[in-house]
Structure 1
Amino acid sequence: MISRKMLVGTIAAAVMTAGMASGAMAETTIGVVAKIGGIPWFNAMEAGIEQEGKARGVDAFMVGPTSADPALQVRAIEDLIARKVDVIGVVPNDAKVLEPVLQKARDAGIIVLTHESTASVNKNYDFELVSAKDLGEAHAKLLAKTTECKGGYAVYVGGLTVPAHNAWADAAVAWLDENCPDMKQVADRFGVAESVDDSRNTTLDLIRAHDDLTGILAFGSQGPVGAARAVEERGLIGKVAVVGLFSAGQGRKLVHSGAITGGYVWSPLEAGRVFVALGKMLAEGGTVSDGDELPLLGKIRLEGSNIFANMPLALSKDTVDGLAEMGL
């Protein structure tokens, strides 16, 4: 059993090693803390961070905690503050838990960028490649089309405290309540979508418990994969739709088998690049206004300190192979 102390030590070492490897003499230093390391989504984000860092002459690196424990993100941010980086990026597992340490970073003069966390308070900016409402509703419409608004459905998120996942889910449920009033959730929301095994097991349990189950909405990159494997195992392809966002390379076989119906996503690789491009611009004194054309994001909408672009990607049998070949 790996202790919390050992995990924390691993993160601290990763911060120092990654930074040294990426070139400590760079003019601007940007450290990005992922939700969890070692899964395809954040592997792609890390590739984007490294690509853009090299292209822009920035010391940019990602720290991937060994589990989706908010305390490990706190520790990683503490280590980045101690290292005196110029910009800290983070994709929060729990926005509230991170508020004190993000305030500490800003008090130290460090620019704070969040992603998938519009509710975060202690940040300079949060950026989203598609709005929560648009993304949630797009998934709801796909589920409604596939199920013809019949039967019951379940909702998975990466965690019940993950800001973006729950915002997407809220938007999807609101749309379904209005447009498919006879279609109801069979159970409360499940915080399992960052684990293939947990999503699979939850889906198997739901299939056993609910004869009227016709759909799974999974917001979290591992959720559709786990749910689809359960649907495949039980021979329910075409009877239980799985809709959500996932890494194309990880889910492509399940899409082609029909176990995953499809979904909408943005590019984690592009999100990684944006952390670097936007961070460098702000570190050099740049500003953001509503309607600006920003590097990589194009024309943006600014709401308070939240930056919205409009860059959704459809995941389907027609697109998944091309997206997978792009490393998404």
Structure 2
Amino acid sequence: MKKFISVLIALTMLLSLAACSSSGEEKSTDKEAKKSSDSDYEIAVVVKVVGIDYFSVFEEGVKKFADEFGVNAYVTGPSSADAAEQVNIIEDLINSGVDAICVVPNDATVLESVLQSAQDKGITVVTTESPDQAGADWDVEMIINDMFAELVAEEAAKNCGGSGQYALYVGSLTVPLHNAWADHVEEYLADKYPDMSLCTDRIACGEDAALARETTLDLLKTYSDLNCIIGFGSQGPIGAAEALTEEDKIDDVTVVGNIIPSEGSQYLESGAIKAGFLWNPADSGYASCYIAKTILDRKKIDDSFSIPDMGDIDLDGTNLWIDNPITITADNWESFGF
């Protein structure tokens, strides 16, 4: 009898263990299934700097994507255009276990290691404004760089008569896209308009209107032949226009470059900014998240890939190119809606 009871107890324990094991497998499967559901994706978008109009519009695209697909997608970023702060934010996101990180890098090189760490943890990484970014699964661009730079250069040359001295503003000396444009502008103007010369090395003030204003005031005092400012970074032309307005030099110096239409409107209408060039920043936010979700869904990104309402897409390595530039003038700025 004792032997029978012992066997019965042993069988009971074995059945109990099997049930626990089965339950555990079911919970694991349920968790994986739940994680594969769109509503459980967490996509963090790290911008260059929060609090400026460009990235407020960019965030609208992220929110639109989140609403359309029921995904937890949101924007975060440093309070100033600081690459080290971006690294800290990304490290925190890695530790929190997000599914995807989308980034607009302040410094492509500085971010390489932390983006690789994210990938090593199985986190999807998508960048924008940073072609060929090391540590990214894909990079998406809203314009074709050389063509965009030439649009800006031609407008600058047209307005200053193709001669004189010009200054180049960028967000920082390490922002990939701004410096790629600046490189091409220098080459293009040297070839097509040899009577235009760069007055000094490019200046990092394009993400700070107050700094761009002070920089412009200093340049006006230093370079008597300065007649053109090309600003990459949405705050560079704004600050330059403020300085020209203060110094009553609107008719003497051409300002062109990146602006948000509504933010630059008063300067477009006064002539302090001759023309702005951009794309819709909301498209960048939306496209970044859309690509991240495509990867998380384990779908292919190939020649048949498309993003709703974005037009034609070209793939080059891990770069995805969309050619949607806009030219912003005093006559059309209201039509863009941002």
Alignment of 1:216 with 2:214, yes or no, is no
Q: 1:47 aligns with which of 37, 51, 60?
A: 60
Equivalence map 1:222-237=2 (5 Å)? 222-237=235-250
TM alignment of 1:1-328, pairs within 5 A: 26-290=39-303, 292-323=305-336, 326-327=337-338
Q: Tell me, what secondary structure is at the counterpart of 1:207?
A: helix
Structure 1 segments of 4+ aligned residues over 4 angstroms from their partners: none
Describe the superposition over 1:29-82 as per-residue Cα deviations: whole angstroms up to 9, x where unpaired: 110001000110011111110111111111100002111111110111111111
Stretches of structure 2 that go unaligned for 5 or more consecutive residues are 1-36
Aligned to 1:77, the other structure's residue is in SS state helix
* Inter-partner Cα distance in structure 1 for 2:304 and 2:141: 15
Inter-partner Cα distance in structure 2 for 1:59 and 1:260: 38
Paired residue type of 2:263: Q
Q: Verify the 8 A CA contact 1:31 1:87 in the aligned structure 2.
A: yes
SS class of match (2:127): strand
CA shift, 1:238, in A, is 2.1
Counterparts in 2 of 1:280 and 1:25: CA distance versus 1, 3 Å: closer
Deviation at residue 210 of structure 1 after TM alignment: 1.1
Q: Answer with 1 or 2: which has the greater Rg.
A: 2
- Give the alignment's TM-score, normalised by structure 2: 0.87
> Alpha carbons of 1:217 and 1:280: their partners in 2 closer, same or farther (altered >3 Å)?
same
Unaligned runs of 5+ in 1: 1-23
**Are the equivalent residues in 2 in contact too, given 1:278–1:295 (CA < 8 A)?**
no
Secondary structure of the structure 2 residue equivalent to 1:302: strand
Offset of residue 297 of structure 1: 3.0
User: d(CA) in 1 for partners of 2:309 and 2:93?
Assistant: 25
- 1 CA distance for matches of 2:43 and 2:153? 36
Determine if contact 1:70/1:98 at 8 Å carries over to the other structure.
Answer: yes
CA distance in 2 between counterparts of 1:256 and 1:44 reads 22
Output the CA distance in 1 between the equivalents of 2:194 and 2:302: 40
Alpha-carbon distance, 1:174 to partner: 1.2
Question: Does the Cα contact within 8 Å between 1:93 and 1:161 map onto a contact in 2?
Answer: yes
1:216 aligns to what SS in structure 2?
strand
TM-score, normalised to structure 1's length? 0.89
Equivalent residue letter for 1:135: F
Q: Give the number of aligned pairs.
A: 302
Shift of 1:208: 0.8
Give the Å deviation of 1:291. 6.2
Identify if the C-alpha distance between structure 1 residues 137 and 25 changes in structure 2 by more than 3 Å, giving closer, same or farther. Answer: closer
Preserved contact between residue 291 and residue 301 of structure 1 (Cα < 8 Å):
no
